[in-house]
Chains A and B, each alone.
Chain A
Amino acid sequence: MLLKRYIPLAIVFLVGSVTLISWFIPHRPFGSLEIHSTQWFDIIASFAMILGALNLLKLQGTKIVQRRKGWLYSVAAVSGFFLTLVFAFLMKGGHYVVISEVGSNSAEVYQAIGDQLNLPFGVVAGQYESLSENGKTIPKYFYTERGARAFESDLNSLGAMTAHQEVAWGGHLQGSGTYFHWLFSYVFTPLSATMFALLAFFVASASYRAFKIRNVEATVLLVAGVILMIGRVPLGHFLTSWFPSWLQWLHLPNLQEWIYQYPNVAGARAIMIGIALGLVGTSLRVILGIEKSFMGEK
């Protein structure tokens, strides 16, 4: 009882009160306590990611083992998870070549670099004519060491002095030519964009079927929606830009701006204030130990 009930309640009361007080008294000791508690939150948030990953594996794994409906999608999810993990922690890629001396066959070396970078001869010659002591990175990144070595040996055979290097661990999450970057750019990005883009089709279909003038409220909503949809885009400006000055208030971009800034903001404010009041109430209930659902109690 003590461990499961009173200690968690005491921690919540203490942390909640300190954070609340520090908002009004941002001086010692509350100010510094607040900094520490936000840093603890950061650490806990990082661990929450691990818990999230384990939860994903547990849920999807159970689905696969029990061959539940749609278990193949779970295989895709788990494979994607492990592939990302491998590309983040085990396989890096990001091999590149640093050139320290062009050598006597400079024209051919520039040509070889230009072919790799898809740059004209003149641009490459300008960039690689004078090299610093540490050499210059050729910004062509290879997924495999073999690719970088092959390019390096091409340059060496032309008389250039080069060195093979790789993007550092950590930097590989952002670096070009790394497996992780490939996965993000060519798998995750198009998949996310596709999912979001599909909304346009569903919105069109749904508005066709559901946006009906059934009563006064629905009519107001529909008229406002149509004005916003047309007034927000350049077409709205194009359609009503010829209106004389005394009718400018009916110019669609002006009408949509008015709807946006007044009736819309009024509604949004009412909702926000309502939510804020609800939050204050709930937070106080949690801090005072009245609300215990976070401990699994009703």
Chain B
Amino acid sequence: MNTFLQKLDSVDRRVIFLIIAVVVILPLIFPLGLPVEPTQTTIDAFDAIKAIPPGAKVLMSFDYGPSTKPEIHPMSIAVLRHLFHKGHPVIVMCLWPDGLFMAKEALDQVALEEYKLTYGRDFVNLGYRPGNEAIIKGITQSFEANFTMDAMGTLIRELPIMKDVENIDDVSFIINMSAGFPGAVEWIQYAADPHKIPMTSGNTSIQVNEVLPYVKSGQMQGIIAGMPAAAEYEALIRRAGMTDEMGEATSSMDAQSIAHLVIVLFIVLGNISYFVKRKQEKKY
């Protein structure tokens, strides 16, 4: 028994990879249907969006790419559903070059297919501009100086949604979907906080540590933290009757739950093996 436990420490990593692959794939094929209970930070983000005055314009920045798409894209979809359900005009922009494609995909799905909205009137995609936080700083003075044209090549002054939108002070709420730099922190530091515009964000789990102090200080209204919070947001809009769809994050939660459990089991086994080994070493 002791030899077996000692050997556990030197198990081939390919065995671990295989186990992880199996425990991720199986719940995706055979869902367990574990209940999703929203946490307070997600509820705060939901309530903040719910409290935006009717018809107010919202700025949404897509600052993530394909690598973090499975984690953040479901949040973008859920938040867009919430905004369009409430009838808010949404101005979309990107500080990441590949965010442009993420934005297009989300808008095509929610704005065009689900809500049959009109481009340029109900929503606009301003596209990507290089410059990171300098772009945020730039739009606090003027949108047109930084985005002369939208992503489709139309002059933004010709778009009905951009009428009366000179700078960031003309939007009522900022939503940032980010996976790193530039992202939520830069939006708070250069736009939301200095201009006193309420803001929330959706982030990868790994980024939450960096953003959470701004939530606790009240500079940000809640946070959608990682894929579990995306599932929670999906549950909230479902409960509010805004959609019947389960959502991608919810359907991935079983796989993530089991994967986390297996990783914890690995840690426990690794420690048992470590203690048995240490005991043996002390003995001799």
**Which A residues are within 8 Å of any B CB, using their own CB?**
34-35, 38-39, 41-42, 45-46, 48-49, 168, 170-171, 173-174, 181, 184-185, 188-190, 192-193, 195-197, 200-201, 203-205, 207-209, 211-213, 222, 225-226, 229-230, 232-235, 237-238, 241, 253, 257, 260-261, 264-265, 267-269, 272
Contact = CB atoms under 8 A, between A and B. Distances in A.
B266 A204 contact: yes
A229 B264 contact: yes
21 contacts: A35-B138, A38-B134, A46-B131, A168-B153, A171-B152, A173-B100, A188-B98, A189-B101, A196-B68, A200-B259, A208-B269, A209-B270, A234-B257, A235-B257, A257-B39, A261-B41, A261-B212, A264-B212, A265-B216, A268-B209, A268-B213
A27 B145 CA distance: 18
Contacts of B16: 201, 204-205, 208
B264 A45 contact: no
A193 B101 contact: no
The secondary structure that dominates the A interface is helix
Nearest to B190: A38
A241 B267 CA distance: 24
A189 B66 contact: yes
A232 B226 contact: yes
Nearest to A219: B271
B17 A201 contact: yes
Contacts of A41: 131, 134
Contacts of B40: 257
Given A200-B259, A201-B20, A237 B267 contact: no
Contact of A229 (B20, B151, B260): B260
A35 B260 CA distance: 48
A234 B35 contact: yes
Nearest to A266: B213
Contact of B261 (A48, A192, A230): A230
B141 A235 contact: no
Contacts of B129: 42
A264 B41 CA distance: 15
Given A174-B152, A195-B67, A268-B213, 17 more contacts: A35-B141, A42-B129, A45-B130, A174-B101, A188-B98, A192-B65, A192-B66, A192-B67, A205-B13, A208-B267, A213-B274, A233-B260, A234-B34, A234-B257, A235-B257, A235-B258, A257-B39
A189 B153 contact: no
Contact of B209 (A34, A207, A222, A264): A264
A201 B19 CA distance: 9
A160 to B, nearest CB: 25
Given A189-B69, A268-B213, A234 B37 contact: yes
Nearest to B128: A173
B52 interface: no
Nearest to B257: A235
Contacts of B253: 233-234
A75 to B, nearest CB: 23
Interface string B65-98: 1111110000000000000000000000000001
Nearest to A267: B209
B216 A261 contact: yes
Chain A CB within 10 Å, residue with most, of B9, B24, B34, B231: B34
A192 B166 CA distance: 36
B58 to A, nearest CB: 21
B142 interface: yes
Nearest to A168: B153
B264 A38 contact: no
B153 A170 contact: yes
A208 B39 CA distance: 29
B101 to A, nearest CB: 6
Contact of B213 (A42, A225, A265): A265
Given A174-B100, A200-B24, A238 B34 contact: yes
Contacts of A225: 267
A23 B194 CA distance: 10
Contacts of A192: 65-67
Contact of B35 (A181, A189, A237): A237
A195 B266 CA distance: 23
Contacts of A196: 67-68
Contacts of B266: 204, 207-208
B109 interface: no
Interface in B110-150: 125, 129-132, 134-135, 137-138, 141-142, 145-146
A211 B274 CA distance: 10
Contacts of A234: 34-37, 228, 231, 253-254, 257
